[in-house]
Amino acid sequence: MTRKYFGTDGIRGTVGNPPITPDFVLKLGWAAGTVLARRASHCENKILIGKDTRSSGYIFESALEAGISAAGVDVRLLGPMPTPAIAYLTRTFRAQAGVVISASHNPYYDNGIKFFGADGRKLNDEIELEIEEMLDTPMQMVTADLLGKVRRIEDARGRYIEFCKSTVPHRFSLKGMRIVVDCANGACYHIAPDVFEELGAEVIAISHTPDGVNINKDCGSTHPQALQARVLEEKADLGIAFDGDADRVLMVDEHGELVDGDQLIFILALDRAARNVLEGGVVGTLMSNFGMELALKDRNVPFVRAKVGDRYVMEMLDKNQWYLGGEASGHIVCLDQTSTGDGIISALQVLAALQRQRLSLSAACAEMGKVPQTLINVRGANRRGYETKKEVVDVMAAAEQKLAGRGRVLLRPSGTEPLIRVMVEGEDKNLVQQLCEEIASVVEQAIA
């Protein structure tokens, strides 16, 4: 079945435009509550709701609360909480589901709704399609005596902070470290600084005063320049940047250099391999830097690529029964610690790895050389079958021959725009640029 509302990460859009409107979200709450209630078995008949710091979150929280209650399901309100915190609390409260009101790294005028199941993982396709079918039926409330009851969970923040700290060894301490933490004016503003401070670090928090519209604005993992400058100004050991809902993390080393998700995953993989706890290999995506693949291969660590998106990373991890994977954007999954991508927990895992290996962040990153990468977006409407055209096949084959196994070529249609992304990676920067331009020129003619 074709999805009508759900994308790869829930339902997302501009506030006030369908489907991100109060009336739709009200019915979504009712539809989800109805579907999940009839599937409930080992878990209690309740759904948790959390949100990030967007001003529109208050509207959609109320709409979801009303819709879920109308379906006869109890509601527990968490307030502003990171997306991975809602996944964790859904499990610990034995709830049917957790709902997150967030548009992640998008600006404040966007918002979205995503669901976690009782296991703390995103809902599977079958349940999402059931919810979509229910949305196309008339909304029918349960009788007044069966309406769901609503209350707020007052200690959600403290519960999650303790869980984060529990993912590192009991004797682990950050005492003596100076860390700058960029909260993106988002959902972790009242959590992340406390986690690192309670573990002993001297924390300089920035972008931790949300006002409803400054989430992700010139800050956080999508705009790390302020963090880079502050790390140098404070002479800090490192900096940590989250996105608006704190499921992504990037870092900045002591020299002010940005450290992306590929590099952080590599640090985690080497540490786990050294301790014989890696359990298989690493899952990246089609966009993961070829330098990580080469560096892992040189150390006999298996590496596979999934399609872009954390949903596909999770699918590949499950398929291989591995624990570690993620994306260059900073969405890192450590399934040996938690059920979904978690920025705070991923940062703690990196800090613990650095401490065990007795390395600075810059020294650990030096173990993996990122290769030059060139990306060109080619716009054109006629994208059907372009990849099988002889001229495209020939130019791709010629490029791969010139790279001689020390680089790669990728053609990927955009899922949201009429364009083809042409990417070439390799050790020779000039050759990479030349090959990418040659391929882009041929693709442009093929889809014109």
For the segment 193-248, what is each residue's pLDDT rounded down to a tens digit?
A: 999 999 999 999 999 999 999 999 999 999 999 999 999 999 999 999 999 999 99
For the segment 289-308, what is each residue's pLDDT rounded down to a tens digit?
A: 999 999 999 999 999 999 98
Element (H, E) at 194: helix 192-198
Contact present, 116 and 100 (Cβ < 8 Å): yes
182 vs 1: which has the higher pLDDT: 182
User: What number of CA atoms fall less than 13 Å from residue 246's CA on the CB side?
Assistant: 33
Distances (CA, A) of 385 to 169, 413, 416: 52, 11, 18
Q: Give 1's pLDDT tier (boundaries 50, 70, 90).
A: low
Of the candidates 104, 288, 329, 339, the residue annotated as catalytic is 104
Q: Give 416's pLDDT tier (boundaries 50, 70, 90).
A: low
Q: What is the widest separation between alpha-carbon atoms in the chain?
A: 72
Contact present, 14 and 110 (Cβ < 8 Å): yes
Domains assigned to the chain: 11-154 (3.40.120.10), 160-257 (3.40.120.10), 259-344+355-365 (3.40.120.10), 373-447 (3.30.310.50)
- The number of helix segments (H) and strand segments (E) in the chain equals 14, 18
Q: Give 356's pLDDT tier (boundaries 50, 70, 90).
A: very high
Strands 178-182 and 202-206, bridge-based pairing: parallel
What pLDDT sits at residue 326? 98
Q: What are the tokens at 434?
A: 């030349």
Q: How far apart are CA 20 and CA 344, in angstroms?
A: 28
What pLDDT sits at residue 39? 80
Mean pLDDT of 426-438: 95
Mean pLDDT of 74-90: 98
Nearest to 238 by CA among 251, 224, 223, 222: 251
| DSSP line for 37-84 | HHH-SSSEEEEEEEE-S-TTHHHHHHHHHHHHHHTT-EEEEEEE--HH
Q: Give 357's pLDDT tier (boundaries 50, 70, 90).
A: very high
Quick check: 42 pLDDT over 80? no
Mean pLDDT of 378-402: 90
Sheet holding 407-413, edge to edge: 373-379, 419-426, 407-413
What pLDDT sits at residue 383? 76
What pLDDT sits at residue 448? 81
Q: What are the tokens at 166?
A: 């529990």
Q: What are the tokens at 193?
A: 């600084």
What pLDDT sits at residue 9? 85
414 vs 419: which has the higher pLDDT: 419
Contact present, 67 and 33 (Cβ < 8 Å): yes
Looking at the DSSP assignment, which residues form a beta bridge with residue 332?
326
Q: Return the number of other C-beta atoms located less than 10 Å from residue 394's C-beta.
A: 11
Nearest to 86 by CA among 124, 118, 48: 48
The mean pLDDT value of the chain amounts to 95
For the segment 139-198, what is each residue's pLDDT rounded down to a tens digit?
A: 999 999 999 999 999 999 999 999 999 999 999 999 999 999 999 999 999 999 999 999
What pLDDT sits at residue 41? 66
Q: Is 62 a catalytic residue?
A: no
Contact present, 381 and 387 (Cβ < 8 Å): no
For the segment 250-287, what is each residue's pLDDT rounded down to a tens digit?
A: 999 999 999 999 999 999 999 999 999 999 999 999 99
Q: How far apart are CA 104 and CA 88, in angstroms?
A: 17
Percentage of the residues of the chain whose pLDDT score is greater than 90: 88
Contact present, 249 and 255 (Cβ < 8 Å): no
For the segment 306-350, what is each residue's pLDDT rounded down to a tens digit?
A: 998 888 999 999 999 999 999 999 999 999 999 999 999 999 999
Q: What are the tokens at 261?
A: 């998700």
446 vs 362: which has the higher pLDDT: 362
The region of weakest confidence among 2-6, 21-25, 117-121, 268-272 is 2-6
Contact present, 215 and 184 (Cβ < 8 Å): yes
Strands 258-259 and 150-152, bridge-based pairing: unpaired
Looking at the DSSP assignment, which residues form a beta bridge with residue 403?
none
What pLDDT sits at residue 400? 94
Q: How far apart are CA 188 and CA 208, in angstroms?
A: 8
- Helices (H), ranges, 246-389: 261-274, 290-298, 310-320, 343-357, 361-365
What pLDDT sits at residue 415? 65
